[in-house]
A and B are shown apart, each in its own frame.
Chain A
Amino acid sequence: MSSAFFGESLAGPSPQVLVRLGPVNVYKGAMAFAIEVYSRVFALVCGMLFWLAITTGTELFAALEKLRIGYNLRTSIVMMFRYFSIFDGDYQTIREAEKSRALDLSTIPVYKRPVHFAYYLVPLVMLVIKRALETGAAMESRGFKGTRLYQGMIAKGKETYLTKKYYRMRMIDVVAILMMLAILAVIAVGRFYFGLFMNPFY
């Protein structure tokens, strides 16, 4: 919205006025700039959702291992994937429990709802802490703290079970990467040598 209505300050003035809303001029250039920005954000969000839909926590774990990201950090990141569904399940149950005690947020004005969110947080936080302790104990029992050999394998660049399984480059991966690089090259050449893909209203 700010790009569309206050486009002059962001993208500089353009001579073509799209519409005049009282004292405010909405310029075609600013509108095109706003559309471009929102398209990027939209593409980014869609890309992220697509990535989340097709990537498992373990695949991410293997990828981070290849990047030599610290074991504790990458395990924490993967645990977040696991906890999304558990957290959501707990949240839904707590909502139902509150409804059973005559607290239905849909009956409360929107501006008053934040006060009631605290009632979700108390049990959620307690449950998360409890689960985290249990998960931590399970991880330690499976050798999470005794990983000298494992860390040594990674330091030496050796393949582990997960990287072998999830990080094998297939021909289709190579083709996809080459295609993306080719598209990027075409856009770069078009933009910098032929002036394509520029805002047409400037």
Chain B
Amino acid sequence: MTEKVAVENLWWKYAESDWILKNVSLKVDEGEFVVVVGPNDSGKTTLARSLNSLIPHSVRGDMKGRVTVSGMDTARHGIGDISTKVGMVFDDPESQFILTKVEDELAFGPMNLGLSPEETEERITWALEVTRLKEQIFKEPADLSGGQKQRTAIAATLAMRPEVLILDEPTSMLDPIGKAEVMSVLRELKERQEMTIIVFEHHLDDLVEIADRFMLLYKGEMIREGKTRDFFSDPSFLHERGVRVPEICLVSERLQAEKIVDRVNLTLDETRDSLSKRLRERPPIGLARREIEEQAKPSDEIAIATEGLRFRYPDGTVALRGVDLAIRRGEFIALIGQNGSGKTTLSKTFNGLLRPSGGKVTVFGMDTTKVSTVDLAQKVGYTFQNPDHQLFKGSVKEELEFGLDNLARLGRLDPREKDERVRNAMRTAGIPEGFLGEHPFMLSKGLRQRVAIASILAMQPEVLIIDEPTTGQDMMQSIEVMNFLDALNRLGHTIIVVTHEMWVVAKWARRTVAMLNGKILLDGPTREVFSQSKVLAETFVQPPQITRLAQELGNYGYPPDVMTVNEFYEATKQVIQ
């Protein structure tokens, strides 16, 4: 096979930083599909950018070693030359849309190559077919879903007919449908177009089925690589280094140790088939041990209630169509559903950011239409998905004081309470004192998110709403944020999480509300919601992989509400016995 990409002893550091990449070497052959995994800050994006010569040509820093793509040395060829060989897709679908329509966006690359209108049109038609975007050709970015925008970015790159396609966390900002769309395009590119593809990604459930090889980049070093099956033969090693290993791999590793399965499986189908051979049909068992106890014991007091809630945006979009919901004090709730299902709109009506077009929202008995946002902010705190939208001040301390200053100005807080509240919020959020003088934008994303949450906590709201707390975070950071929210819940705060991450819902949320087209489709304990996978499918949301596996093995006695690897393992032992 022809070697397409070769990285030899690559070292890189940004101006005034330590080495980000340390002696990284890798080779990718023509037609290979390679996935590079690793926690945040391990150097994945830096490596991706060095493959298309953005590094070293567009970023200042020091480089040692050599990168060649299709025989071109990236240090000697500028990005203009390399872009004819390497296409790159970034994580944020919004920021990489340059022109104002899908068709024009696809024309941008070929036009830069100086292609004739006829050839440009031919390439656009091909790229639209591969990415199945034909019907969206005349649409503008605002009219596209996240998945469609990301497919447009892929199509725009494909239109340049690159020999190598690099995707840097292409699904990290997408909802489940968007993720599935992008994965389907990648499968198409791999199977029919035989393109050389390198993906840098955290979500691996689908990629293990497509990729030929995996590589682990950890703290700037390439510490493991191998064919997909070999790479995942030791899931614990990967898990300990912050890789979100598919649950199927983790459970089959444990079952392999018990000699229940022969090897570490990669896919749900493989595991189902290998277990089916060992089992005989029997009725479902009850789980002997529940890993997630239904430990939340919310009080009977209703914190938030909606009655026939309807909401219409000024452009006429109807977002909520009669929502009836009662949230008790002390609950931990997940709002799930596709983008546009109404979950964010619903959560914004809880603290008065949006006022109902019809129906009623009450917060601790107060009608939100009759109370100011300032008053509601003291009861219901809202943290946005992107912490960068909610950091206004020059230091962490000022940031934490911001809301308190506003309350003091309005006479709702005694200024003498400020210092104590700031200290409490910092302690609860686990922000070290040394960070008080730091500029919030200089912190890591995980810490910025904590500062944003702490700044809300300082106002001591009883209910905390967090929109997508794990977006853009790796596994360890996600666990850290969610454990923090869990701790807050145990302190008595009502927690409402809006999320697309089903493993997060399964592990932390005690109650789940699934939304579809502005209505509540399912509402109940998370186990019950996930056990109704057929109804849930209407929202295009899939339960966690391990839950689906248990449901597929239902004939052999597995309960349908298994939610964790441990539970599945325990259930398997019972079923086998």
Binary CB contact string for chain A from 81 to 122 against chain B (1 if under 8 A, 0 otherwise): 110011000100110111111111001000000000001101
Interface of chain A, main secondary structure = helix
Identity of the chain B residue whose Cβ is nearest the Cβ of A91 in the assembled complex: B389
Contacting A at CB under 8 A, from B461-506, are: none
Indicate if the CB atoms of A56 and B100 lie closer than 8 Å: yes
Complexed CA–CA distance, A147 and B80 (Å): 7
- A58 touching B459, Cβ below 8 Å: no
Interface positions of B from 94 to 133, Cβ below 8 Å from A: 94-101, 104, 107-115, 117, 120-121
Q: How many residues of B are counted as interface, with CB atoms below 8 angstroms from the partner's CB atoms?
A: 74
**Interface residue A135 (Cβ < 8 Å from any Cβ of B):** yes
Tell whether A10 is near chain B: CB-to-CB under 8 Å: no
Q: Are B98 and A79 in contact (CB under 8 A)?
A: yes
Given contacts A90-B389, A97-B390, contact A160 B100 (CB under 8 A): no
- Alpha-carbon distance between A136 and B324 when the two chains are bound, in angstroms: 46
CA distance A168 to B92 in the complex (A): 34
CB distance from A160 to the nearest CB of B (A): 6
Q: B264 near A: Cβ within 8 Å?
A: no
Nearest chain A CB to B64 CB, angstrom units:
22
| A137: interface (CB < 8 Å) | yes
Q: Which of A12-20, A38-46, A124-132, A171-179 faces chain B? A: A124-132
Contacts of A202 in B (CB 8 A): none
How many contacting A-B pairs (Cβ < 8 A)?
A: 198
Closest to A162 in B: B107
Selected contact of A97 from candidates B160, B384, B406, CB within 8 Å = B384
CA distance A79 to B407 in the complex (A): 39
The prevalent SS among residues of B at the interface is mixed
A107 touches B54 (CB 8 A): no
Q: Is A73 an interface residue (CB 8 A)?
A: no
Are A122 and B392 in contact, with the CB atoms below 8 A? yes
- Interchain CA distance A127-B49 in the complex, whole Å: 21
Question: What are the 5 tightest A-B residue pairs by CB atom distance, in nearest-first order?
Answer: A146-B80, A149-B114, A143-B112, A138-B96, A97-B390
Q: Would you mind naming 20 contact pairs between A and B with Cβ atoms under 8 Å apart? A: A58-B100, A93-B384, A97-B382, A97-B389, A98-B392, A101-B377, A102-B459, A122-B393, A123-B389, A126-B391, A126-B441, A134-B92, A135-B95, A135-B96, A137-B88, A140-B79, A143-B80, A148-B114, A149-B115, A160-B117
Residues of B within 8 A of A (CB): 49, 52, 54, 58, 78-81, 83-84, 86-88, 90, 92, 94-101, 104, 107-115, 117, 120-121, 140-142, 153, 156-157, 160, 348, 351-353, 372-374, 377-378, 381-384, 386, 388-394, 402-403, 406-407, 410, 412, 441, 455-456, 459
